[in-house]
Amino acid sequence: MTSSLLGMDREEVAALIREAGEPAYRTKQVMDAVYRQRVESVSEISTLPFELRERLEKSVTVGAARIENKFVSSDGTVRYLMGFEDGQSVETVWMPEGDGGEAGDGSEAGEEAELAGSTSGAKAPSKEQDPIAALKRCTTQMLSGENEVNQNSATQTSDTQTSDTQTRATQRRSPRRSTICISSQVGCAVDCQFCLTALLGVKRNLTAGEIVAQVCAVLKDQEVSPPEDRINLVFMGMGEPFLNYENFMKAAQLLVECVGIAERRMTVSTAGIVPRIREFGGEKIRPKLAISLNASNDDLRTRLMPLNKKWNLEMLLAAARDFPLRAREWITFEYVLLGGVNDRPENAREAAELLRGLKCKVNLIALNPGPGIEFNTPGEARVEEFQNILRGAGIPAFVRRPRGRDIYAACGQLKRTVAVATPPAARRQEISPTAEG
């Protein structure tokens, strides 16, 4: 039975090279080819002698993810259907410029999200500045950048035009701030009532290599490469990462050490697996933590997230309060707003009380609809009112902008749907069945 190079760390590849009777420097050649050059087969590792490639092909494959289909949204978001060797598939999402989900989390990626003006809300306050001052700073920087662009445009002359080839080369060299949302399981075992992925159930865990393979496939398809391009990574696709903890953690380590994505640019979202939250806090390499809250009291949360029966709000918030935050780091709480269910002013006040004293910020997500989901998306006024109540209580709150709703790529919409969204009146008749495998 062959094994996959994607998912192997440096020590494992070194052992493979020793077993083949090859010098140690071959390890770096293989690692670079797989994780940096993102080859899809052993035969493509041109730095290895032909005879060695032939021998390796008998025992290992690269294990690259196969892009079976891709859907492009009107906002530039891309939803990928990624296939694996056993015929199973997951979805991975590319968001150019991200969705603002990092804003206010204290990281470099969060500051970039604020500067880009991609969310509304107040920046998490620091010792040096309050939320309003942060917003003014971001606005000033944005206006300054716009003025500089305008001045440069005014001085350009017609003879400075470049060819299409030169333009594309410049774009590839320019740092980009994009976000990749990746999956950790085929389906999901956490039965959140407002999430399309929950309708699939869980098929199996992804291996560490399959998690990393999604990232490598998207980077190759989009022709970007960290750290030159500023790529943010969120473990918020299909599945609950903390129910596939060992593979998730190994994937995170490989993405940092081998692919080149800094851990401060990664965020993992959990529905609230309390023992794993506590274990995660002690990891040497770990992404930032986001917790799906979605309700302001136990009765409501149990209705929306049955997992709450096992780990209730008291247990969840105790783990959050004990979580060892790094300098300038904040915990993110995600709150999906469901019209007339959990979006009332009293819910906002209850949520503010729950989070009082925590070094945290809240991402508000207006429900992204889909077939089989019985809840409604709240209006903008209700979302703004909820946000203002949290902010008034001193809780930094941001509204995540939906990305890729028209192709079922937004938060809570991943279900391997093989058709794009249609107008509500026609949705029942026109949505194709999911691709089960």
- Rounded CA gap, 372 and 86, in Å? 28
Determine which one of 181, 188, 360, 411 is catalytic. 411
Of 118-122, 243-247, 398-402, which gets the smallest average pLDDT?
118-122
Position 305 in a domain: yes
pLDDT beyond 90 at 226: yes
Tell whether 28 and 128 lie within a shared domain.
no
Mark which of 61, 86, 105 sits at the end of a domain: 61
CATH number of the domain at 407, please: 3.20.20.70
Instruction: Identify the sign of the CA torsion 45, 48, 53, 56.
Output: negative
Tell whether 129 and 20 lie within a shared domain.
no
Tell whether 57 and 70 lie within a shared domain.
no
Mean pLDDT of 83-94: 93
Quick one: pLDDT at residue 145? 41
Tell whether 39 and 129 lie within a shared domain.
no
Of 5-14, 117-126, 191-200, 352-361, which gets the smallest average pLDDT?
117-126
Mark which of 44, 61, 78 sits at the end of a domain: 61
Position 149 in a domain: no
Tell whether 380 and 422 lie within a shared domain.
yes
Quick one: pLDDT at residue 217? 98
Quick one: pLDDT at residue 123? 39
Quick one: pLDDT at residue 115? 59
pLDDT beyond 50 at 417: yes
Instruction: Identify the sign of the CA torsion 52, 54, 59, 60.
Output: positive
Quick one: pLDDT at residue 175? 52
435 near 416, Cβ under 8 Å?
Answer: yes
DSSP code per residue over 351-378 = HHHHHTT-SEEEEEEE----TT----PP
- Phi and psi (nearest 5°) for 94? -105, 125
Instruction: Specify the number of domains making up the chain.
Output: 2
Peptide bond into 23 cis (omega under 30): no
Catalytic annotation on 181?
A: no
- Rounded CA gap, 176 and 228, in Å? 8
Position 107 in a domain: yes
Which residue has better confidence, 191 or 156? 191
Which residue has better confidence, 203 or 372? 203
Position 272 in a domain: yes
313 near 304, Cβ under 8 Å?
Answer: no
Whole-structure pTM value: 0.81
Determine which one of 22, 91, 112, 263 is catalytic. 91
Tell whether 45 and 172 lie within a shared domain.
no
- Rounded CA gap, 417 and 399, in Å? 26
98 near 232, Cβ under 8 Å?
Answer: yes
Nearest C-alpha neighbor of 369 from the set 117, 209, 196, 205: 196
Mark which of 61, 89, 107 sits at the end of a domain: 61
- Rounded CA gap, 414 and 83, in Å? 15
Catalytic annotation on 12?
A: no
pLDDT, one tens digit per residue, over 315-358 is: 999 999 999 999 989 999 999 999 999 999 999 999 999 999 99
Residue indicated by tokens 């004293």: 357
Tell whether 84 and 53 lie within a shared domain.
no
**Other C-beta atoms lying within 10 Å of the C-beta of residue 160:** 7
Position 77 in a domain: yes
Position 300 in a domain: yes
pLDDT beyond 90 at 118: no
Tell whether 126 and 176 lie within a shared domain.
yes
pLDDT, one tens digit per residue, over 351-362 is: 999 999 999 999
pLDDT beyond 70 at 288: yes
pLDDT beyond 90 at 155: no
Tell whether 9 and 99 lie within a shared domain.
no
Question: DSSP strand E in 32-149: where?
Answer: 60-61, 66-72, 78-83, 89-96
Q: Which domain holds residue 11?
A: 3-61
pLDDT, one tens digit per residue, over 250-265 is: 999 999 999 999 999 9
**Average pLDDT over the chain, rounded to whole?**
82
Tell whether 100 and 221 lie within a shared domain.
yes
pLDDT, one tens digit per residue, over 49-78 is: 999 999 999 999 999 999 999 999 988 999
Nearest C-alpha neighbor of 91 from the set 421, 428, 422, 411: 411
Tell whether 110 and 26 lie within a shared domain.
no
Quick one: pLDDT at residue 156? 41
Of 9-13, 41-45, 144-148, 202-206, which gets the smallest average pLDDT?
144-148
Position 201 in a domain: yes
Question: DSSP strand E in 354-409: where?
Answer: 360-366, 397-399
Of 13-27, 142-156, 290-304, 360-374, which gets the smallest average pLDDT?
142-156
CATH number of the domain at 21, please: 1.10.150.530
Tell whether 85 and 135 lie within a shared domain.
yes
Position 87 in a domain: yes
